[in-house]
Amino acid sequence: IYGETGAYYGTVEQQGRLTLHLHLLLYIKGALPPQEIRNRLMTEGSEFEKSLITYLEAVHVGEFHNGDLATMQAKYPVPTDTNSTYQNPTLMMPVPPPSWCKDKKCSECKRCVQRANWWSNFWETTDDLMVKSNIHTHHQAYEPTAKDRKAAVTKGLKTKYKGAKGCRNKDGICMARFPREIFPESVVDYSDGSLNVKKLESDINNVTPMLTYCLRCNTDVTSLLSGTAIKAIVAYISDYVSKASLKSYQVFSSMYDVLHQ
Ligand SMILES: [Zn+2]
Ligand SMILES: [Zn+2]
């Protein structure tokens, strides 16, 4: 999806509710260092700028395929009628695409028609998955009651025992960074080579549609266009390594390995 993998660095976190949560940094083979990308973006209207934007807009999106948030929420409501034939895609496996038609000029044979149908189903399913998994609503901190604690001990659930953190800090700022800034189209600031990729919905995070289709859950995909951002993510991921009671020398050795890739 993203190109050939040069290296990757990630950890799997076990959340309070016992679900597994992956943080992963992917290095793409042949990708330029962030500063080099910035330097090249400072030339207005370059071929490089066009190619980079085409690539970034193809690998991750910040909006739905077939409409805006309100339209999509109306189209894919949370099912309440248990007799309905609607199948919640978060509970279904992905459907593999039908085989290719080898004729490049053809668009009408049985295989081509099946493939076109598969793609339209792909986009509808992906929009539905995003409605079910990617819309952020601010949540309050939650203090467990004595009853919750008792139930938690019986079931072995940490969340109910400890309660849950809200998404806002003491200043009322959402730590999940919502609502996010909107960009009607991808724009480069030629004065410093910084780039903001197109994003149309402020209440969802960015996703790679193919990843959403395959994984069927919330994902957050972003391109790190500065060395500082990359280092921050390495530190963030390493923090999760240390959560798993690893010794600090193991954390540093992991970071050393990554930075020398
Ligand atoms: Zn065909
Ligand atoms: Zn929030």
Q: For residue range 205-242, list pLDDT tens digits in order.
A: 999 999 999 999 999 999 887 777 777 777 777 777 66
Give the pLDDT confidence of 64-104 residue by residue, as tens digits. Answer: 999 999 999 999 998 787 777 888 999 999 999 999 899 98
* Mean pLDDT confidence for 167-180: 86
Q: What pLDDT shows up at residue 158?
A: 60
Instruction: Output the pLDDT for position 162.
Output: 63
Q: What is the mean pLDDT of the chain?
A: 86
Sign of CA dihedral 209, 214, 220, 221: negative
142, β-bridge pairs: 164
Nearest-angstrom CA–CA distance, 190 and 45: 9
Ligand 1 centroid to Cα of residue 122, in Å, is: 19
Tokens of 46: 């370059």
What residues contact residue 139 under an 8 Å CB cut-off, 6+ apart? 164, 166, 167
2 residue type, one letter: Y
More confidently predicted of 146 and 197: 197
Q: What is the pLDDT of residue 161?
A: 60
Tokens at residue 238, please? 């390493």
* 30 CB-near residues (< 8 Å, 6+ apart): 3, 4, 6
Residue 170 has what pLDDT? 82
Distance 107 CA to ligand 1 centre (A): 5
Q: How far is the CA of 177 from the centre of ligand 2 (A)?
A: 7
Inter-residue contact 42 to 16 (CB < 8 Å): no
Beta-carbon contacts of 160 under 8 Å, excluding residues fewer than 6 positions away, are 144, 148, 149, 151, 152
Query: Prior bond to 179 cis, omega within 30?
Result: yes
Residue 110 CA to ligand 1 center (angstroms) comes to 7
* Ligand 1 ion: Cβ-proximal residues, 5 Å cutoff: 101, 106, 109, 112
CA of 169 to the centre of ligand 2 (A): 9
Cα angle: 46, vertex 51, 55; to 5 degrees: 150
Instruction: Say how many Å lie between the CA of residue 106 and the centre of ligand 1.
Output: 4
Q: 80 C-alpha to center of ligand 1: Å?
A: 40
Distance 113 CA to ligand 1 centre (A): 7
Q: How confident is the model at residue 123 (pLDDT cuts 50, 70, 90)?
A: very high
| CB-based contact 43:18 (threshold 8 Å) | no
Measuring CA to CA, how many Å separate 198 from each of 187, 201, 212? 8, 10, 19
Q: pLDDT tens across 35-71, in order?
A: 899 999 999 989 999 999 999 999 999 999 999 999 9
